[in-house]
Structure 1
């Protein structure tokens, strides 16, 4: 077989810019992801406030991507970029370990080829390992006094 004839394996996900109809489903992914990954961290906003934030701020803001399951169209993940930052990256809990996070980080790097930064809570050690695996390095730790949750956090940066 000629090497040029090989194709990459099909991904079970499709990435696309978010549209108005995605807000509710994307907010549910965020809520479920947060609750599964960070049960010990107080949320600064109610479920309804998070849903409104997606509907009125994030989706209209224009730099939000959703990952849909190719088979059934369910929203499986959310990526929100803000300038050079990954503002949000959340997966439906049942989607962990399927390569979806890798796909979303690759999209972020494609869209921000000069570099990225992000914040995550210090207690979220699985996220730390994930971002380090993707070439991010720890740049700063804080006591959390500048975030709404008042939770100690870490800033990671990726420079190509």
Structure 2
């Protein structure tokens, strides 16, 4: 995994490329700037730089808070089974130890996270205040780039926005479950992407 990626974004200016929020990716210390004016009319104005990098152990309390905030706002159809303390334990003892945990930093806070293991996206959550800004796309593209050319994930059937997001990014539905295979008991879908 690269040490960090910096993604300059245009904030809420509404700049898009092919209908999706856009931003160039550069390696830390060498952010790409060529051609920004073409995609960002406000370039030089209110630009925000997002950093995508590996999470550090001491950041896990903030990761767990963002995860809970996202689930509460975006997945209100599933039961809340765990306390914030249990969420933190989960990230400290399971997610961080068994996965590659990537975070997105913006405005000096964690705005997104993704946990991957082998060719699975185990977790992908964004702060709902930062949706539709291209951050999820950057995380998913990073997972694709580090995969063997095959990537899988599970998505709740009722999470219509996430399903549309994954399908736009080339994921195909493989099978549906009744929810008996997840602790929430909510029907879900196995998605797969192939290069």
Q: Which has the higher strand share?
A: 2
TM over 0.5: yes
Q: Secondary structure at the match of 1:57?
A: helix
Match of 2:158 in 1: 123
TM-score by length of 2: 0.74
Q: Which has the higher helix share?
A: 1
- Return the structure number with greater relative CO, CA threshold 8 A, min gap 6: 1
Gaps of 5+ in 2: 1-31, 37-46
Is the 1:120–1:155 Cα contact (8 Å) retained in structure 2? yes
Alignment pair present for 1:32 and 2:59: no
Shift of 1:6: 6.7
TM-score by length of 1: 0.89
Is the 1:118–1:157 Cα contact (8 Å) retained in structure 2? yes
Shift of 1:61: 2.9
Per-residue Cα deviation, 1:36-76 (whole angstroms, up to 9, x for no partner): 1111111332221111111222223351100101xx32111
1:29-108 matches, cutoff 5 A: 29-69=66-106, 72-108=107-143
Match of 1:21 in 2: 58
39-48 or 150-159, which deviates more: 39-48
Shift of 1:12: 2.8
Q: Radius of gyration: which is bigger?
A: 2
Is the 1:141–1:154 Cα contact (8 Å) retained in structure 2? yes
54-63 or 142-151, which deviates more: 54-63
Gaps of 5+ in 1: none
Q: CA RMSD in A?
A: 1.8
Give aligned pairs, total. Answer: 154
In 2, Cα distance between equivalents of 1:8 and 1:88: 33
Is the 1:13–1:68 Cα contact (8 Å) retained in structure 2? yes
